[in-house]
Chain A
């Protein structure tokens, strides 16, 4: 344990030193190669050249890392998706044909669609409501910290917590699950919640909503505070009541931010894997694409071709949302 800490500390120090060294050293080299102190015309030319090269030099490591960890995997995935389980034999469109026809994939797609429908909407809505409410009360900041807390928990950790909420014991035993404890206390029979077909999807979604509401709340609360106070006062004078002011004056003014929050959560949802993996591993019809990808890629010997195909489909689904998201975020920054 101690050794690990030391190693981690050392890595940080060495890494930062190396980064420093790189930028300082490359700049120094540039100055030597193109001395600004050269005579007359040469000096200006040198300065111009150095200025043209410097950004590439400084961007270099980042570009390299991006290429290595982003571009290469994408290319490799595309390549793999046209090959067999072991990634050697070319199979053409076979993996894609399988994807279109497979019943498990269909069920995962439907579930994913449900997730997309429910989680971003619920998180954004709850985030907006909590942001608006906590902005008005004295202990709002405490409430905000509490609501934001789940953001700091990993998806797997959150799932473990919620496992205890949904936990099921036979009817004659003490219920340790919060939900069942409540239900039995109210006189109802205990349920194995996560096995209930169709509804179990929603029990899983609750976990992500629980996590993402904090994120939505923080961003939207900042946006709400940015609304000019006078527009609200003008609406008060115009006779609007609280709800009308909220929905007709405040919300429309932060539409851009709402869209960014919504799409950001949508992207998270498309990638969601840990929650399903840790809670049900796709059993009882709760599977989603990302979990299918993991299952095909790494379990039961692995089928790299199919795994890569699913990964690509997820990527293609994410791209348009991503573009829209970035556009919105940009527009937001430029002040609409």
Chain B
């Protein structure tokens, strides 16, 4: 049960710099999720916290104690691997008991801890089975059980659900959420590719990109007030639309003239000096609505319609841009294909970026 502080942490393999300037202050009881594109160093950072990977520079402390040189086993952490990493030759019971046996705990104590974890994870009927006789979801629960039994200060999860199929992933995600609820004091760090996992589980999300931290914040902060274009496009699916333009009016509200000629109001304050500045206007597909009014952000012909039932995705081609303009409308609109549609958004839902950074943060 602990605070976990990373100060100016860096990692390099020889000359290859993987991570640098990682500053992170994780409070006891938080569930921190690392997201980021593949290869950005999420696993590496997690493994550095675990002690499986050395820390090239900076300090890692847990509960105020610097852990850089402390062996993995003594850091008070437990890790759940993507591949489960169960000991294939041991029964579920022995898998969960292994760490306690190594720690020379009494038989009664071990049995009690294992029984309790098995009850929490509904593994009691499988205690005497070998891992190979379990389903993927059950194996993952054993892996989690192995962590729980040790009662660690910090739990580390490296993409624990990515080997499961979609339905099971949802179920196990809920289980992890419940588990976290039952252990409000334990700190968890969770790596995932899955946005939904990140948004639903996290107390705070850390977006890693380009060898550093792009933004840290609660899921809704990241969604509503992304600090930069990368986070804006990374969080949310489909990604936020970005349209180039120029500031033509400043003040409590800003007006941007887009390349297409239309003028768009954004509820973002700007200074007089910003007049004429080249910006990118960001708007999420789900914030766009069809409109008949003259005020609009985009007008074009619908090229592709993806009707998903609860929502419909409209794809528009844009001049001079590879990425299509995407709008997400509630309900079914299969009839819009090849139709000319005009789109507008609430000024409060519009984002502005200059040089890749949001104008909200400066």
Instruction: List residues of A whose CB falls within 8 A of some B CB.
Output: 228, 230-231, 233-240, 244, 248-249, 252-253, 255, 336
The answer to whether residues A234 and B102 also contact, given A253-B88, A336-B88 and a CB cut-off of 8 A, is no
Q: Are A237 and B87 in contact (CB under 8 A)?
A: no
B residues less than 8 Å from A239 (CB atoms): 73-74, 99, 102-103
Q: Are B81 and A253 in contact (CB under 8 A)?
A: no
B277 within 8 A of A: no
Q: Are B85 and A234 in contact (CB under 8 A)?
A: yes
Query: Could you say which of A233, A236, A244, A255 contacts B89, with CB atoms under 8 Å apart?
Result: A255
Instruction: Sample 22 A-B pairs with CB under 8 A, ordered by A number.
Output: A228-B85, A230-B83, A230-B84, A231-B87, A233-B81, A233-B85, A234-B79, A234-B81, A234-B85, A234-B146, A235-B98, A236-B52, A236-B72, A237-B72, A237-B77, A237-B79, A238-B98, A238-B150, A239-B102, A252-B87, A336-B88, A336-B132
Measured as residues with beta carbon below 8 angstroms from the partner, the interface class of chain B is 20 to 34
Q: Are B73 and A238 in contact (CB under 8 A)?
A: yes
Q: Are B89 and A237 in contact (CB under 8 A)?
A: no
When C-beta atoms are compared, the residue in chain A nearest to B102 turns out to be A239
Q: In angstroms, how far is the closest chain A Cβ from the Cβ of B203?
A: 24
Instruction: List residues of B whose CB falls within 8 A of some A CB.
Output: 50-52, 72-74, 77-79, 81, 83-90, 98-99, 102-103, 132, 146, 150
Given A237-B52, A238-B98, A238-B150, 15 extra CB contacts under 8 A: A230-B83, A230-B84, A233-B52, A233-B81, A234-B79, A235-B87, A236-B52, A238-B99, A239-B74, A239-B99, A239-B102, A240-B73, A240-B102, A244-B102, A252-B89
A residues less than 8 Å from B90 (CB atoms): 252
Q: Are B83 and A228 in contact (CB under 8 A)?
A: yes
What is the bound-complex CA distance between A249 and B84, given in angstroms?
15
When C-beta atoms are compared, the residue in chain A nearest to B52 turns out to be A233
Q: In angstroms, how far is the closest chain B Cβ from the Cβ of A239?
A: 4
Q: In angstroms, how far is the closest chain B Cβ from the Cβ of A290?
A: 37
When C-beta atoms are compared, the residue in chain A nearest to B130 turns out to be A336
The answer to whether residues A253 and B52 also contact, given A238-B99, A239-B99 and a CB cut-off of 8 A, is no
Q: Are B50 and A237 in contact (CB under 8 A)?
A: yes
When C-beta atoms are compared, the residue in chain B nearest to A230 turns out to be B85
The answer to whether residues A231 and B52 also contact, given A237-B79, A336-B132 and a CB cut-off of 8 A, is no
What is the bound-complex CA distance between A262 and B136, given in angstroms?
34
What is the bound-complex CA distance between A238 and B101, given in angstroms?
10
B residues less than 8 Å from A231 (CB atoms): 85-88
Q: Are A237 and B78 in contact (CB under 8 A)?
A: yes
Of the listed residues A236, A237, A239, the one surrounded by the most CB atoms of chain B closer than 10 A to its CB is A237
A residues less than 8 Å from B102 (CB atoms): 238-240, 244
The answer to whether residues A249 and B77 also contact, given A244-B102, A336-B132 and a CB cut-off of 8 A, is no
B residues less than 8 Å from A253 (CB atoms): 87-89
Of the listed residues B78, B83, B89, the one surrounded by the most CB atoms of chain A closer than 10 A to its CB is B89
What is the bound-complex CA distance between A233 and B83, given in angstroms?
12
A residues less than 8 Å from B51 (CB atoms): 237
Of the listed residues A228, A233, A239, A249, the one surrounded by the most CB atoms of chain B closer than 10 A to its CB is A239
Q: In angstroms, how far is the closest chain B Cβ from the Cβ of A286?
A: 40
Q: Are B132 and A249 in contact (CB under 8 A)?
A: no
What is the bound-complex CA distance between A255 and B90, given in angstroms?
13
A residues less than 8 Å from B86 (CB atoms): 231, 234
What is the bound-complex CA distance between A233 and B80, given in angstroms?
11
Q: In angstroms, how far is the closest chain A Cβ from the Cβ of B224?
A: 37
Nearest 5 pairs between A and B by C-beta? Answer: A230-B85, A239-B73, A238-B99, A252-B89, A234-B85
A residues less than 8 Å from B72 (CB atoms): 236-237
A residues less than 8 Å from B98 (CB atoms): 235, 238, 240, 248
Q: Are A237 and B88 in contact (CB under 8 A)?
A: no
When C-beta atoms are compared, the residue in chain B nearest to A255 turns out to be B89
What is the bound-complex CA distance between A240 and B84, given in angstroms?
18
Q: In angstroms, how far is the closest chain A Cβ from the Cβ of B309?
A: 39
When C-beta atoms are compared, the residue in chain B nearest to A245 turns out to be B102
What is the bound-complex CA distance between A228 and B87, given in angstroms?
10
